[in-house]
Structure 1
Amino acid sequence: MKYIQLAAITLAAILTSVIATTAFNVQATHLISNQDKEGSKLRLSFANVARDIPMSKGYYEGKTVYFIHTEASDESLAKKITDMKGFKVVYAPALSTAPKEALSKVFIFNNGVNGNGTLGFQPDVVDNTPAQVNDYSPLRTVIFVTWFDESDARELKSVDEVIDAWLNDEVNIERSEIIVNMPMIKWAEGAMKIRNEPITDEMEYMGGGQVTKIDTENLIVTFIAHRGWGPDGKTIYYIVTDATPKGPADMMGVVYAPKIENLTNSAAAVDLFQFGNGIKGSGPMGFQAGIGAANPGDLNYSPMWRISFINWNNPDNAKVLETLDDIQKMVKAEEITIELAMDGKHIVNCPFIEI
């Protein structure tokens, strides 16, 4: 029976997909070329700010990895992690709708050896890192591990070691339906790209990376948090950790995670509108900051954003848009055109965070 259960928690088959990076580059090049045209400029104060986020240690095949927690589909677990880490982990029930093809796994310990794990015990064990390009996803299904006799507890550092302990009746394994967003910061073969320049309101969005420091001794990573608007026009800040296709991931200096393309038609991905022309500003393409279709606390909020580009039909008529209602009015007035980036396959992991 255990071997039947074991099959239910083994790795999914390797996802095979064709990423149309060339097509994205053509689209992005067209948008970036608009930056050279004269026009108004929106200067937001504190458009980019530094944000320290606590990291957690984990294990993959015996090697140490470092990651952050930003959202969880379970409210109780989100609160527990928030209290443990001193950093707001957002309750995001929409993540529970993510298809299994977009997910990885994490083994979290309920008891045993004390440590830096999600619940205060040994470091979590993961089933992949960004080095396993086609397997990696920052979205992880939680599998809880409990020692039957804590006097037997020891650190387990790989999925195989966890499974062996289970087969030997040392631990219980309970697969949950909980999904946690756990972007990987550093792993054996690499790390997120470090940006070696001061954070300013005028800094370029693309090319330099989204992290300025990774401190594994003190378990802190410093992200560049970007200012934008929520659906109601309120100021939000977000970080960028992962993306697909590879073209935009490389341009932003974040982890390439092709598996999250499987969120394209899922409610676990929410619309985020960026601007391809019009008023210049701090947005990714050099124009005004973007507008997200959900805020943390909304039932449809997710850190996984399906990117669309807004283009003014006549850039000379461009105005600052701040809300979803603004967008809808401009569409109705035939002032703007909205185009899904890469036919909806451009998904970016951009958690909205507190500053």
Structure 2
Amino acid sequence: MDEHYLKQWTWDERQAWIALVESHHYLLARLDADLIARTGTTLATYEVLLHLGNRRDRTATITDLARACGLTTTGMAKRIGQLDREGLVTRASSSTDRRAVSVTLTDAGVARLEELVPAHLRAVRAHFLDVLEPAELDALGSVLARIVDALPPEVRGVEGSDEAEPYSPASPLRGRSTRLTDAERRAWLPFLRVHGPLQYTLEDELRTETGVPAAHYEVLALLSREPGWQMRMNVLAERCGLTRSGVTRRLDMLEEEGLAERKAVPGDRRGTLAVMTPVGYAVLDRAAPSHMASVRRHFLDLVDEQELLQLFKALNRVVQRIRSEMP
């Protein structure tokens, strides 16, 4: 049980890890909503365009993009396919590896990106940078940068890559509105960069060591922390950062394997509960030790007690601000 193993951590370790996970869920969901409202473009699209736009040749492989965004290569290939149909990128076989597919940002993609960056940065400042004090931003950026630097080079990006630092004067993107101050970059970029590579590393180790997909583990872990191992579907969607259709598809997969089931909410005909089954409990209990060991190796062992508390306080404030603004 995920909850059982969480209790083996100290209070600071537990709260810091939960704050890191929740802050990414809530902040990225809010940034996505703001970007869609302002520009009609999703954060998923923006993320890929940004990685390509900050390479001087505007080109990267699908594998590199998947690692940077914390996706499988299949998931990234689907995303690239949509961008290709929109004329924002092109695809071609790599000149150095025929099995690899290179993705290049088109002129239309560059134009779209330069429209998106100012809108995105306004939201970043409103929901993250302006919520924290300068000293908190410095401390947070220092801790998260250390975590990123400790990840395997093939995950965080090989040294010597031609990718420029996003939002900096060195970036190929033009204009002051596409830039952050030095202090802002020191805080925001580690937060941005730790999500995809850390998630990719944890998911890869979980899948390799236990065979359990991270998407399954996430839902089972959340259900294990609730009385009766059950949670309303709309709450589960919010906790996972998914749409209603997204959480429905995920629960469909769990039901097919007998790991979870749906039940009606007593007294509420329109409500549906997601419930973990005894089989799901057994799968979670088998996978949890591996996952918790990975979290300790790539996060907890790199941060001291004072830094854990600072990280929790800062990220929890970001989460609470966003929650307070939710309808």
TM-score, structure 2 normalization:
0.26
Structure with more of its chain in helix, by fraction: 2
Higher relative contact order (CA 8 A, sep 6+): 2
TM-score, structure 1 normalization:
0.25
Structure with more of its chain in strand, by fraction: 1
